[in-house]
Amino acid sequence: MSRSNNVLAFVMAGGEGSRLHPLTAERCKPAVPFNGKHRIVDFVLSNLINSEIYSVYLLVQYKSQSLIEHIRQSWAMARFIPNHFITVVPPQMRNGPEWFQGTADSVYQNIHLIETFRPDIVAVFGADHIYRMDVRQMIDFHTERRAQVSVATLPVPLSQCNQFGIVETGADQRITGFVEKPAQTRPMPGSETHALASMGNYLFDADVLLEALRRAHDTGQSDFGKHILPAMLESHRLFAYDFGTNTIPGIEAYEERGYWRDVGTIDAYFEAHFDTLGAAPKFRMTNRQWPIYASPDQAESAQIENGVIRRSIVGSGSIVDGAQLDHAMLRRSVLVERDARMEHCIVMERSRVGQGAHIRRAIIDQDNDIPPGERIGVDLAADRLRFPVTDSGIVVVPARFFPPRGTHAAGADPTATAVERLTGERQEAMA
């Protein structure tokens, strides 16, 4: 693969993520935790770094502090390597007191970064998806086709076409039509059930992008999918890159080929977690040849005092003390007390699940202290009086909904006192 192209990447990380509420009540969508120790943004950044694209601007907007802290702690690049950086860029408001008005406007507000860097190709990628992708293979496609714009694409069911930009192509993969989130569309050639959708990942020749951004700004247009790409169809060479042809080293035979999930809803977010579980998951998180990098982890190893655990993840610093876990995902420093039952659950940092509690098909956001004997996901009618519940029955408990018990301070690690108690019990048993 060619490494001669000078590539600058912009990652669109300003998404409000309203459909993921209440998980996005205090954080933007790319900062939402995923699996045992990751956040959603880690996937696109890992793909870029693994593809040897080291010059990355992360454009942020809504509720960005959690994301900014994550980037600062987890994605610091070496200062002494030229053009190697991951830099968070908030709205610059150079042209007035306005936040980003759309994806294209967010890049236009930072057009000086492109002019200063002088890349050959600008990659504009989303930050909201779970996937692995070798971006250099898309760059090779872009170069070989003499494309001026390349759009990463994959088939989606016709019933979901209103969630994506829908692409029409000729036999040579040149794009002949682009409609953003149509209510209805015709199927792609060779299929009766699927249409070809944009993944929200674009490659632009830098000079073409600069011209398009200036023209769009002058005419009040602000979005790539709604405005810029459709307007370029007649005048420029736009091609659809088939994500299904992208190959990644280290993928096991049991994994889903071309795995890609838009985790923009609670249901999709919940289901994607369980695609990573088990001995033969659809998406294996531990691929050493194409890692998804996570934040540094200084916590102690997890402790399993006793209990029954089936197909679950127990994050670092967590303690399971005589509980039953079935398809449970515990992030860092989660305490699950005796006789608690957890089925198809996600529990985020510094939470405690009290003795005898029963939780099923639920997401417990961080810093919750679930009382002993609590029932969540067992009686959905009662749950809807307290929590957001999706149509499919997934219950979401907002961060800090259940206040800490006793002397357990808010934001403190509930596992600390549990370690002291367990240590005391062991010493008594040995006496």
Per-10-residue mean pLDDT of the chain, 431 residues long, equals 75 86 94 94 96 94 89 76 82 53 84 95 96 98 97 95 92 93 89 94 97 88 85 94 97 96 95 96 96 84 93 95 97 96 97 98 98 98 98 98 74 61 52 47
Where in the chain do CATH 2.160.10.10 domains reside? 303-430
| Cis before 404 (ω within 30) | no
**pLDDT (0 to 100) of residue 213:** 93
Predicted pLDDT of residue 310:
96
Distances (CA, A) of 36 to 117, 155, 277, 340, 394: 36, 29, 11, 20, 19
Rounded alpha-carbon distances, angstroms, from residue 198 to 8, 335, 378: 20, 41, 39
DSSP 395: E
CATH classification code of 303-430: 2.160.10.10
CATH fold for the domain made of 7-262:
Spore Coat Polysaccharide Biosynthesis Protein SpsA; Chain A (3.90.550)
Instruction: Locate 122 and state its tokens.
Output: 């600008």
CB count in 10 Å sphere of residue 186: 12
CATH 3.90.550.10 location in the chain: 7-262
> Which tokens is 244 given?
């299904």
